[in-house]
């Protein structure tokens, strides 16, 4: 078949490879597995030899990281779907980078989504995304990639004043007055920014606590931000917001 996707699997857990092979073979006839590898050295040699279109790549390998594979190969015209053991901070790092990932144990539903969308990441965008992923995994959560309908916006977390829901999209309001439209819903970013100084104060609003200038009392009340925007606080979100604000203020 001309439309077969040449695929390589890289994981030091042989049982994980066997499971993924079985799921792909049983459900995705357009996936052609042309080789598997268990470490950085094997993976580098294999990818350069078979020139795949798609690589399922574990992050932690016995002789290095999945990043090392990408850096060492001479052939780079392939897309990557990362595979990771569950860790909410690791998952957030992948969301920051807007790269595809699967959490072990891999479910059919998420595997299907990843395979259908694997071509979304352009090869010439991979370096920036990998850098942000690597920094995020190492707890330097300074930047986030915002996918839009016409490309990618790479912004510093500290430059985001607030996020606003707009149907299935999210509007990002920045300190320099810029506004970005992200092609994901606000709930997605609420999860990504969990444990960071952001608070969902309304069904439509997620704010950066760094830029709260004043809270105006009321049934739910409202917030005045540094750019003089006034944002409504819902009655249901009021107590949670005030608690987060107090906890945040203790450390600044």
Residue 194 DSSP symbol: T
- What percent of the chain is modeled with pLDDT above 70? 93
- pLDDT at 249 (0 to 100): 72
Element (H, E) at 26: helix 14-27
Residue 211 DSSP symbol: G
Q: Which domains, and CATH codes, for the chain?
A: 5-137 (3.40.50.2300), 143-249 (2.40.50.1020)
Which tokens is 92 given? 């957030």
Contacts of 155 (CB under 8 A, 6+ apart): 143, 144, 146, 172, 174, 180
**Is residue 126 predicted with pLDDT exceeding 50?**
yes
Q: Are strands 222-225 and 212-216 parallel, antiparallel or unpaired?
A: antiparallel
204-252: per-residue pLDDT in tens? 999 999 999 999 999 999 999 999 999 999 999 999 999 989 888 765 5
**Is residue 89 predicted with pLDDT exceeding 50?**
yes
39-80: per-residue pLDDT in tens? 999 999 999 999 999 999 998 899 988 889 988 999 988 989
Region 14-26: mean pLDDT is: 94
Provide the terminal-to-terminal Cα distance of the chain, rounded to the nearest Å: 60
132-145: per-residue pLDDT in tens? 887 777 766 688 88
**Is residue 201 predicted with pLDDT exceeding 70?**
yes
Dihedral in degrees, nearest 10, Cα atoms 27, 25, 111, 135: -170
């Amino acid at each position: 078949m001309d439309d077969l996707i040449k695929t390589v699997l890289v994981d030091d857990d042989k049982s994980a490879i066997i499971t993924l092979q079985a799921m792909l073979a049983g459900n995705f006839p357009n996936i052609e597995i042309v080789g598997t590898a268990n470490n950085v050295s094997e993976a580098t040699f294999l990818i350069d030899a078979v020139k795949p279109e798609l690589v399922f790549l574990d992050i932690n390998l016995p002789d290095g990281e999945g990043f090392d594979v990408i850096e060492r190969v001479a052939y780079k015209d392939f897309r990557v779907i990362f595979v990771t053991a569950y860790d909410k901070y690791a998952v957030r790092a992948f969301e920051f980078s807007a790269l595809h990932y699967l959490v072990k144990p891999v479910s059919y539903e998420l595997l299907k989504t990843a395979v259908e969308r694997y071509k979304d990441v352009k090869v010439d965008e991979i370096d920036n995304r990998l850098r942000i992923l690597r920094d995020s995994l190492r707890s330097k959560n300074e930047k986030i990639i915002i996918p839009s309908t016409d490309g990618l916006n790479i912004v510093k977390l500290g430059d985001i004043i607030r996020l606003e829901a707009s149907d299935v999209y999210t509007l990002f309001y920045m300190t320099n007055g810029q506004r970005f439209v992200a092609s994901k819903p606000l709930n997605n970013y609420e999860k990504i920014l969990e444990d960071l100084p952001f608070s969902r104060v309304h069904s439509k609003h997620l704010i950066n606590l760094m830029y709260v200038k004043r809270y105006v009392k009321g049934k739910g009340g409202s917030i005045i931000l540094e750019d003089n925007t006034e944002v409504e606080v819902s009655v249901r979100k009021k107590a949670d917001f005030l608690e987060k604000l107090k906890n945040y203020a203790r450390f600044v």
